[in-house]
Amino acid sequence: MLSCQSLGQMQQERTERARAGLAKGEFRFSSADSGWLVVNGDGKQYVVNLTTCTCQDFTDRAATLGLFCKHIEAARILFSTPSQGGSMQDNSTQVTGWLKLYHPSGAQVTLPVPMLARLTNQQAQDVLGSVSEYLNAGFMVNAPGLEDGELLEEVNAVARREAKDETPIIDFYSSNTKLLKKFMHAYMNSEQDIAAFEQAAGIQVVALPVYEGALAIARDDNKARKYIVSLPRPIKLVWKLSPKWEEWKATGGEGNEPHKRMLVRYEAGLPAAKGETSPSPASTALTVTRSYLDGTHVNGDANEQIAYDAFKKACGKNPASKAALKTWTQANKHLVAFPEPAPTSSN
């Protein structure tokens, strides 16, 4: 039989998991007739109130021991206040929103935004004011150094596949090891792509074993140890949503889903370990090969790179495709500073 001390420790562990989940924004609550619907961090949905929950932990174990699961504890933290008699009063109309912002150091934080299920105009203004206060205090919508639409992900492992034409494909795995599938991938279409990856990651492409599968290998695959290689240190990827994926989503998501994430550049990893030389700026913030909106990349042709940079400077965005860039360049030659051809000597 479990002692009171053991039961108390088991309850404390569940309470701490509830607090950690709330801090990370893993729980999403919405009103329901018998309490709330809570969506867990893994996407599973349960019905919860201040005393019961439909999750497996509560129904199979916690309930028989007189304990509360982490979902009940999260609900009690969010929606209950101690009364004068010490019991818990249900405040079931209250809903807590969660706002993800960035600290100036670059750390992402999840901050609470208290609100009610049905807002009056004044209450809505109060919510708006609370968000404004976070921004006025110095929190930022985008991580430092990121432009609109750019996001940051830290990765600590990679694997290599090859396309049908033998172009290397690097699969990146998040430092959040709960994510078993690859976070994103990038084609090594040119020597510049390979050089940028190798300098940022500290590992050579040719040193990575080639996984023969058509799809990326998952971390829980029995062959993962052979093909997924840990990086010398975590690195950060700046990425954005692929225009093709956004168009696919906007049109209803019919047909094959395009790749969702597109690599923009590599950012600095963790500080150098004790005794190591800190990496130079050139090796910690390397821009990958210029890419078109159709997902293809600029090759090593110098004139194409010059035209690409001129287009982006003039138009403020990436060209749609190589053909579109060529058409624009022909019409705007005065904006493109191609190098003068070297003079030919005559005898």
Model pLDDT for residues 25-78, shown as the tens digit of each residue:
788 888 777 788 898 877 788 999 888 999 999 998 888 888 899 999 988 888
pTM, 2 dp: 0.48
**Helix/strand/coil for 295:** coil
CA 242 – CA 252 distance, rounded (Å): 16
Q: What is the pLDDT of the chain when averaged over all its residues?
A: 79
Cβ atoms of 306 and 328 within 8 Å: the answer is no
Proportion of the chain above pLDDT 70, given as a percent: 80
- Produce one character per residue of 174-206: b if its CB has 16 or more CB atoms within 10 Å, e if not: bbeeeeeebbbbbbbbbebbbebbbebbebebe
Per the model's pLDDT, the better-predicted residue between 111 and 288 turns out to be 111
